[in-house]
Amino acid sequence: MKRDYDIVIVGAGPAGSMTAKWAAKNGARVLMIEKRQEIGSPVRCGEGISRAWHDSVGLKLDKKSLAWEVKGAKLVAPNGTPFYLGEKMAGDEVGIVIDRVFFDKQLAREAIKAGADLQLKASATKLIKEGSKVVGVHVNSMDGPRDISCGCVVAADGFESQVGRWAGIDTSLAPRDITTCFQYRLTNIDIEHEYCEFVLGSKAPGGYIWIFPKNEDTANVGIGMQFTKLHEIADVKKHLDKFIQGDPRLRKGKPLELVSGAVSICAPIEKTIGDGVILVGDAARQIDPITGGGISNSCKSGKVAGEVLAKATQENDFSEKSLMRYENGWRNLIENQLYRNWLAKEKLVTLPDETFDKVIATLNDVGVEKMSTLAILKAIGDKYPELVKEFQEFL
Amino acid sequence: MKKDQLDEFEVNIDKCMHCGACVGSCPQNAIYLREVVLEFNDSCTLCKRCIKACPVGAIKLVESA
């Protein structure tokens, strides 16, 4: 019996759309299902990204996806001392602030143009299996409930991913590997709109506060805190509110948007494939454990996933062995960096404010060649080898 | 501890942002986010991680008398 689709992708965020685009472009029959009624909304993202990786995944941001360009990053020590990573060294980590409402639609549009189908307000409720092999997915939508048969289901269902767990892949997180977040899009504020700002230390225990400008007087002002550092109910929002009230630039601001969510800050997980199933993006725990950023890794892994799935379609082989090409492919691209940044995160969350103050002072003394987490970690390691000794081999 | 039928999680819909922070933090995969409604199933062990993970404090456990 002919299957309904070669590939069904659950979730039409960046990882899902990227997978869909590269699979469809290379001949697979692809359906994306998205539980929400609109692609990209509501936003659950700080929206600051870098540019360096765009060419490698064939991404050209359209005008609406690009909200704001910044000169660089500003790291702020707990004692208030800033360290500026300027435009001369701009590149790898921070450079632009996007508009996810448009960005996600752009990626979905490109997937559709490549030949993928998309259904909105369609939720996966369970996997259909033959033995341990995934052969389809049960979907609830406006058309009513139905079974969709396919060669491979792609779990691109984000932090709260269920598809991987249904398939028997362990994506559960230890408390220390979870960051919960809250963000306001604040307007009527008086910020340095040419920089993406990161506030370090105990204002955001185990995480950081970010101020990512969307225009001259508006920014995404958010906080991420490590789960194990949460004590009171709604602690994360309380910490952000306290920070905003204590900052004269932000105090008079009013929110245009509220965002909450969580991200994984774990080491790369053991397995992201099974017979007839692959995990991609946040669902595959591919978030950078230091920055909490997931878009670049989602796009990189999504492209690999799409290309592998197109080949698997041609060969009509969606076995775990066939999908190993994805497992190996994404790990070759980002696994080392994820692991290094997880080790670095494990260290950073233990540092007292005085150490962050010293580190920022050092960075101001020695400078940093490139705007990347790696360059910053290297500069720290030169002065304070004990801070990087657990992951020295990755620097 | 196993979830007792008398214990119920209560989600404050005035606070809940439907963000899924509790869903992904749950070690048992016991919470399902159906559009804008959270459903807890029987595999819940009352570990209360969801309560802590909720960025806005929308979840509370109503203890049985």
Chain A positions in Cβ-Cβ contact with residue B56 (cut-off 8 Å): 182, 234, 237, 260
Cβ-defined contact of B25 to A237 (cutoff 8 Å): no
User: Residues A265-324: pLDDT tens digits?
Assistant: 999 999 999 999 999 999 999 999 999 999 999 999 999 999 999 999 999 999 999 999
Distance between B1 CA and the closest CA of chain A, angstroms: 18
> Is pLDDT of A235 > 80?
yes
User: What topology is assigned to B8-62 in CATH?
Assistant: Alpha-Beta Plaits (3.30.70)
Quote ipTM for the complex.
0.78
- Residue of higher predicted confidence among B8 and A166: A166
Q: At what angle do helices A14-25 and A295-315 cross, to 10 degrees?
A: 30
| Pick from A172, A175, A260: CB nearest B56 | A260
Residue B2: its pLDDT value, please? 55
State whether residue B35 sits within 8 Å of chain A by CB.
Answer: yes
Instruction: Give helix then strand counts, H and E, for chain A.
Output: 9, 18
Residues B25, A35: C-beta atoms closer than 8 Å: no
- Scanning the structure block, which residue is given the tokens 């082989």? A317
Beta-bridge mates of residue A217: none
Which CATH entry fits the domain spanning A68-98+174-264: 3.40.50.300, 2.30.40.10, 3.40.605.10, 3.30.9.10?
A: 3.30.9.10
CA distance linking residue B50 with residue A61, whole number of Å: 36
Of chain A, the end-to-end C-alpha distance in Å amounts to 52
Query: How is domain A5-59+100-173+267-343 classified at the CATH fold level?
Result: FAD/NAD(P)-binding domain (3.50.50)
Cα first-last separation, chain B = 16
CA dist., res. A74 & res. A68, Å (int):
16
Phi/psi-derived region of residue B57, left when phi > 0, alpha when psi is between -120 and 50, beta in every other case: left
Domain boundaries, chain A: 5-59+100-173+267-343, 68-98+174-264, 345-394
Least confident of A76-90, A139-153, A306-320, A343-357: A76-90
| A266 Cα to chain B: minimum distance (Å) | 12
Measure in Å the smallest separation between the Cα of A184 and chain B Cα atoms. 12
Ranking A49-58, A386-395, B24-33, B49-58 by mean pLDDT, the lowest is A386-395
pLDDT per position as a tens digit, A93-147 = 568 999 999 999 999 999 999 999 999 999 999 999 999 999 999 999 999 999 9
Q: Rounded to whole angstroms, how far apart are CA atoms A189 and A312?
A: 51
Residue B55 C-alpha, separation from nearest chain A C-alpha, in angstroms: 5
Nearest alpha carbon to residue A44 among B20, B14, B1, B28: B20
Q: Residues of chain A with pLDDT > 90: what percent?
A: 88
Contact A236, A230 (CB under 8 A): yes
Q: How much helix, strand and coil, in percent to the nearest 5, is found in chain B? A: 15, 25, 60
CA distance A187 to A192: 13
Q: Distance (Å, rounded) from C-alpha A124 to C-alpha A191?
A: 42
Whether the pLDDT of residue A371 is over 60: the answer is: yes
pLDDT tens sequence across A36-61: 999 999 999 999 998 889 999 999 99
Give domain limits for chain B. 8-62
Q: How far apart are the C-alpha atoms of A1 and A17, rounded to whole Å?
A: 27
Q: B37-40 and B31-34 as β-strands: parallel, antiparallel, unpaired?
A: antiparallel
Q: What is the pLDDT of residue A94?
A: 60
Reply yes or no on whether the pLDDT at A87 is more than 70: no
Residue in A closest to B15 by C-alpha: A234
Q: How many residues does chain B have?
A: 65
pLDDT of amino acid A89: 61
Searching chain B, which residue's CA lies closest to the CA of residue A44?
Answer: B19
Confidence of residue A368 (pLDDT cuts 50, 70, 90): confident
**Percentage, residues of chain B above pLDDT 90:** 43
The percentage of chain A sitting over the pLDDT mark of 70, rounded to a whole number, equals 98
